[in-house]
Amino acid sequence: MPYTLATEVSFEEDIKKSRFQAIAAPVENEQQVKAFLEKHLDTSTTHQCWAWKIGHNVRFNDDGEPSGTAGRPILATIEGNELTNVIVLVNRWYGGIKLGTGGLVRAYGGCAGQCLLLAEKIELIEKKKAYFQCLFNEWAIFQYELNQQQIEYEEQYIENGVVIQLQLQIPQIQALALKIQDVTRGREQLKTVDEDMVGENRE
């Protein structure tokens, strides 16, 4: 079973006068990756190297360090911890002593690894994207239900009602489908689309 991180976490260490800072966080899509990197942009650093994995998609960046010495070791720590939907950024402030290729691999991979050891890990629960439509006077009932169950949704108002897009855990699908049929008296039904993976607490 794959895991992700509960919250953002950081770790710092000094290696031969260079300061390394790892920051790890859960991400669900490339927009969140972009927002994370923009949030942690730091022009005082010598290098900002990172790696992320979302589902089966991976990316990494050496940011000027010799190829394969930073981004790939960071990615290896993510995969070694059986994590997904995670980004790890490692900042380096150069202290004047070169670490060499092997030293850089150990420094970036080690700092990322220590950061992930500190992180609280949560099981990744499969979610499905779904949608349904309802009338304006029915939306308040559904909105209350979705908020009570902490279901992620986006509503779009159209001429004759509301279209709602959702992220549902598998066990939630049947109950909501029945609720929709009940409230709309069989007029509308819940439709699922492609699968997605989103982090949820194990408790």
pLDDT tens digits for range 79-113: 999 999 999 999 999 999 999 999 999 999 999 99
Contacts of 146 (CB under 8 A, 6+ apart): 153, 164, 166
Tell me, which fold does domain 125-199 have in CATH?
A: Alpha-Beta Plaits (3.30.70)
How far, in Å, CA of 28 to CA of 190, rounded? 24
Into which CATH architecture does domain 3-119 fall? 2-Layer Sandwich (3.30)
pLDDT tens digits for range 56-82: 899 999 999 999 999 999 999 999 999
pLDDT over threshold 80, residue 197: no
In order of 4, 106, 109, 133, the CA distances from 159 in angstroms are 40, 59, 54, 12
| b/e burial code for range 157-181 (CB count within 10 A of at least 16 → b) | eeeebbebebbbeeebbeebbebbe
The three-state secondary structure class of 80 is helix
* In the chain, domain spans: 3-119, 125-199
pLDDT tens digits for range 8-47: 999 999 999 999 999 999 998 899 999 999 999 999 999 9
The per-residue pLDDT of the chain, averaged, comes to: 90
pTM for the full model?
0.68
For residue 141, the 8-state DSSP code is H
Q: From the CA atom positions of the chain, what is the Rg in Å?
A: 22
pLDDT over threshold 60, residue 198: no
